[in-house]
Structure 1
């Protein structure tokens, strides 16, 4: 695959760049490998206390891959539980995560059935643990490893979308392991989530008179019905995405696909594995997603920070805001991202980082588990 970069026209002022104007105007092609090398070099961690590792761990009978990156290993660990099921955040993490690494040691984990982990195992080996309980136990084993290997008493837990199901389960079972549970694009009630997303898309289609969308959405009514299918989810997702319920102001997910195609963390084979893993995981986990019900799971033994996109209809924001109002925890905080839908960390990356630093990080600093304060001159 080739990527074309438009070069500046005209003769450069520097003697080393004084090629003729025609050569300067001619587009220059770069291979994917050249592009990813540049991206990787740009985010290289060179600090003496820095860490940049990709580690294959044997957890609950299968090999599972993690990425561990940060500029100071004394910083608290933040474990990112990706969505999907089987939509790992690692291949696009380079677009938003680098600045986090000043303040946290960030762990990206390709869950059972996802990405690099899918590629490292047979489907037969992964299948027995393809459940909420099985994958929550995978996550628990991973947290234990991180605390023991990196010498931490606690870590931060961030669950996004599908990962928020595992996040709530893990925070409920082991609240003493976490400085905070950071809920992002929370799945509160699977059935209600699907209904609200569908109704949003159909309402917008009717307002616009979009006959194609109306026809396709009405064809799968009542939604989600008694048995949700992958094809029906695809129709709901297509039109909910078209009307900005996934990424505000965007009609599709091409920006994400483009970023993944240039990922310095994923090979072509990893991307193929990600696609296969998505279908495998949905076949196993779609019923569990629909059956999720946290309406009355509102008592937490650790602090809770809830990030919500004001335009999110993938995990509808109204349901999350209502859920938040009933939460009891040692402390809690709701942050609404006014110009985001479901992909807050990519849609408003600066604001997302600000709230990680101002709302989450102090919870670790209170017990002394953070790097020394920076010297400002």
Structure 2
């Protein structure tokens, strides 16, 4: 009986109801102007899910466009809370084909970069209308920064500012830099096995990222602390197993998370992403721009983001390096990020920026 009870307790996180926690005052009463809900809305022919959380719905809206393709950031917030809900109404949107927005009958021909950009603008309009705000804040993370930055360039009138976390620039060049860095690092560690595997799977500007490299990429990066977070040493324990313990999705939604990840990566989006150079295609934005970069990020190399930032034309620009972060600084160093968003982004200023 004791064994059964222990086993049941171990499995309970898998069967959470997937509800979102309300915001409460010191007396345990719900904050009257707060919002904490999970919902789905039709977006360009596909029902797409999102979680909306904030302490006061009169605060500015921040639309978070996640990475991947097909890998929402929201499940990471159980271990890495952002604590931004006092400043913004934060919208964790699961993109077409991902997690809450996964469905097996999504038309394959709609899984294109152009469609994702259009979806971003449609979700933006839904939020502008719902919260009666002419403009909202737009944050893109990794793959999401590739989509969101182009959405901001296409329709700047919809947005107060653009925030790029682990900003994608020219991903093939980033992968080449990362491969060279990892090869040198593992040689220094005298890890003959990883050195052999990396040497057998070279990344070049002409041939791209071979399948053998992509299979070992996540493991190699996380063992060096240059992957999702600086303290995450394994995607198995840090993301996969953690996702099954996540309280914000139901068991069915957790299954959809991983089915959606596989689905989203089966349409050649990666090949389209790595060949695009935003330095060439988006040389300017008409709204304030903030780049939030991890010192140890080699998933989207910080030096490339710096190079792009220096060339990018915008009315206000702020560049911020987080010294204890890799690919997800708003999750890894939430206090520093909160200060930047409160004192610079919301004020349209760059007083805390590394580069102005």
Distance in 2 between residues matched to 1:301 and 1:61, nearest whole Å: 30
Give the equivalent residue in structure 2 for 1:371. Answer: none
1:1-377 correspondence to structure 2 within 5 Å: 29=9, 31-33=11-13, 41=21, 46-97=30-81, 99-118=83-102, 121-123=103-105, 125-223=106-204, 226=207, 228-246=209-227, 247-253=229-235, 254-284=237-267, 285-296=269-280, 297-363=282-348
Would you say the 8 A contact 2:77–2:331 is kept in 1? Answer: no
8 Å CA contact retained: 2:172, 2:208: no
CA RMSD of aligned residues (A): 2.7
Name the structure, 1 or 2, with higher relative contact order (CA <8 Å, separation 6+).
Answer: 2
2:353 aligned partner:
none
Partner of 1:374: none
CA distance in 2 between counterparts of 1:363 and 1:306 reads: 13
Q: Equivalent residue of 1:101, what SS?
A: coil
> Given the superposition, is the C-alpha separation of residues 42 and 66 from structure 1 closer, same or farther in structure 2, using an over 3 Å criterion?
closer
For residues 188-247 of structure 1, what are the alpha-carbon distances to aligned partners after superposition, in whole Å with 9 as ceiling and x for unaligned?
002101111111111101111110111111111244753545543122232122111112
Using the size of structure 1 for normalisation, the TM-score is 0.83
Q: Distance in 1 between matches of 2:68 and 2:7?
A: 38
Any unmatched runs of 5+ in structure 2? 350-356
Give the unaligned 5+ runs of structure 1: 3-25, 365-377
Alpha-carbon distance in structure 1 between the residues aligned to 2:129 and 2:19: 32
Q: Is the 8 A contact 2:23 2:31 kept in 1?
A: no
Distance 1:72 1:96, change over 3 A: farther
CA offset digits 1:136-174 (Å, max 9, x no partner): 001111101110111011000000000000111111101
Q: Supply the distance in 2 between the matched residues of 1:38 and 1:299 (Cα, whole angstroms).
A: 41
TM-score of the two chains, using structure 2 as the length reference? 0.87
**Aligned equivalents of 2:152 and 2:21: distance in 1?**
36
Contact 1:198–1:223 (8 Å) recurs in 2: no
In the superposition, relative to structure 1, how do residues 350 and 260 fare at CA in structure 2: closer, same or farther (>3 Å)? farther
Secondary structure of 1:143's partner?
A: helix
Q: Is the 8 A contact 1:198 1:240 kept in 2?
A: no
> Which digits, 9 at most, give the CA deviation of each residue in 1:305-358, with x for residues without a partner?
010101110001111111111122110101110011112122212212221212
CA distance in 2, matches of 1:203, 1:44: 50
